[in-house]
Structure 1
Amino acid sequence: MTDSLGPRLKIGVVVPSTNTSAQPELDAMRPHGVTNHTGRMVIGDDPMVDEPGFGHVMRGIRTSTLPAIESVACCDPGCVIVGVSPESHWEGTEAHGRVLHAMRAAAGGRPVTMSPDAIGAALSAYEVRRIAVITPYLPVGDESVSRFFEDSGYDLLSICGLGVPSPAKISHVSETELRDAVKEIDSADVEAIVQVGTNVAMARLAAAAEFWLGKPVLSNNAVLYWHALRQNRIADRVGGFGSLLAAY
């Protein structure tokens, strides 16, 4: 027998305990017969204004991610979304395979969707390489994100860090701030704009920005959910969150 509310797919989602944006955004994207089941990585709302502070937040995420994945694996989801961006980028491309392997093991061998893989698949779908990136971080976080994209072979033309000082305050970033950031980093040479940081609620704004820019604007949460759905053969087109979910 299949799950009564999620007969097509159950998706496990793990996010930091400070994250209040990913769960409501992902729930709004659910196709019929798909359910989301969220576990939390317990971390403190510690300052990220310098490298020691950012490193402390990262250590908290590292120690709590695998237990959070194991907790959602108990409900037997078809896959797991790991909704945290810094851990995906902080150690570089050479560490990504090792991190992903550990997360799959914690998920009982189930498919795991992380930001680098999901964003890479999305950019491949659009066949673009020249990008601009929005992050919620201060320069210490922006440096690792820049390095990851450049090491992955993308031409990073510009990056805008919004300078948020702690994990919980990332959810305070407004659509007005995001609109201004999109305007700041866009240019004729930019083929796509990528936003990282799952506690940034940008899915709705990204869809609007695509309309007036005429190019892909990829919000982190929409990309993660699209990748999880398509990996599990859920091909529904979901409107309102950008062209990726609506057309690919």
Structure 2
Amino acid sequence: MDKAANTPVRLGMLTPSSNTVLEPTTAALLAAAPDGADDVSVHVSRFRVTEIALSENALGQFDDGGMLRAAELLADARVDVIAWNGTSAGWLGYERDERLCERITAATGIPACTTVLAYREIFQRTGARRIGLVTPYLTDVQDRIRANWTEAGFACPAERHLGRRDNFSFAQVSEDTVASLVREVAAEGCDAVAVVCTNMRGALAAAGLEAELGLPIYDSVAVTLWKCLATVGLDPSRWRDLGRVFDLPAAFGADPARAR
């Protein structure tokens, strides 16, 4: 997939069908680059997800089959990376996303990444061990995320969640509410705050909160965009004014042969 240096880069993203935050937020982040972002475009494929819970039906929404079909449609657009821009591996386990990435690349020949695996990489590389966790999820979902992350070495001693199940409703939580939850977990002490949900409004407030609180604020939409940029070898620091995540070096996940 070698591309000439002046060839536009196409980022492919998989998103839940009921998500209304991811696309406009990603577009806003890209557009905020001081030198513009005409060399980068985002292309999205959806699969059916309407609720987040631990019931059999809810868990079944994240079957690899539907996600792979959506990824194969993205491959028709000749995207340079395919990201699962969602957080289901938070409660299903990292191995689910590891397998998904393998299957996407095997089926399409395109590098794959995910939100949750990007979080793990960031925490490992930055040494963050106490994570303030903010989500819109139900208590049992939140508890599962905390257990999985703690087992991986990232304790979540400070957390807030909103007890919501309907995925569409997550987007109706205001940016001000998200910011208040971030402040609450930061006050309890942590190395970083993670706003975990790609249908929640945290990305565009992150830089201001970081300046206020003196902590990195890692929003899921921004984390996924960072990983996509790093994977294709683009320099994320073009977007450093939007949050500390974009100051992390592309070498975290880049193919050096494609760096530009």
TM-score (norm 1): 0.87
Change (3 A) 1:160 1:188: closer
What's the offset of the Cα at 1:188?
6.2
What's the offset of the Cα at 1:146?
0.8
Aligned to 1:77: 79
Aligned to 2:212: 212
Any stretches of 5+ residues in structure 2 without a counterpart? 31-36, 250-260
Q: Is 2:72 the counterpart of 1:90?
A: no
Aligned to 2:59: 58
Equivalence map 1:159-170=2 (5 Å) = 159-170=159-170
**Count of aligned pairs between the two proteins:** 239
Give the 3-state SS of the residue equivalent to 2:59 in structure 1: helix
Change (3 A) 1:15 1:94: closer
Equivalence map 1:29-48=2 (5 Å) = 29-30=29-30, 31-43=37-49, 45-46=50-51, 48=52
Q: Output one character per residue of 1:24-60: Cα deviation in whole Å (capped at 9) or x when no partner.
A: 11122223301111111123x34x5x632xx422312
1:92–1:147 CA contact under 8 A, matched in 2: no
The one-letter code of the counterpart of 1:147 is A
Change (3 A) 1:128 1:51: closer
Aligned to 1:222: 222
The one-letter code of the counterpart of 1:85 is T
Instruction: State the distance in 2 between where 1:102 and 1:144 align.
Output: 25
Instruction: State the distance in 1 between where 2:239 and 2:94 align.
Output: 31
Aligned to 2:194: 194
Any stretches of 5+ residues in structure 1 without a counterpart? none
Give the 3-state SS of the residue equivalent to 2:78 in structure 1: coil
Instruction: State the distance in 1 between where 2:230 and 2:60 align.
Output: 31
The one-letter code of the counterpart of 1:70 is E
What's the offset of the Cα at 1:123?
2.4
Give the 3-state SS of the residue equivalent to 1:51 in structure 2: coil
Change (3 A) 1:201 1:73: same
Give the 3-state SS of the residue equivalent to 2:145 in structure 1: helix
Give the 3-state SS of the residue equivalent to 1:132 in structure 2: strand
Aligned to 1:27: 27
1:133–1:156 CA contact under 8 A, matched in 2: yes
TM-score (norm 2): 0.83
Aligned to 1:12: 12
2:160–2:185 CA contact under 8 A, matched in 1: yes
What's the offset of the Cα at 1:122?
2.2
Q: Output one character per residue of 1:149-199: Cα deviation in whole Å (capped at 9) or x when no partner.
A: 112111222221122230111111111211221122113641100111111
Equivalence map 1:124-203=2 (5 Å) = 124-187=124-187, 189-203=189-203
The one-letter code of the counterpart of 1:51 is L
Q: Output one character per residue of 1:46-97: Cα deviation in whole Å (capped at 9) or x when no partner.
A: 4x5x632xx42231232421111111111111101111212x2233234443
1:16–1:61 CA contact under 8 A, matched in 2: no
Percent identity (aligned)? 23
Return 63-72 or 12-21, whichever deviates more: 63-72
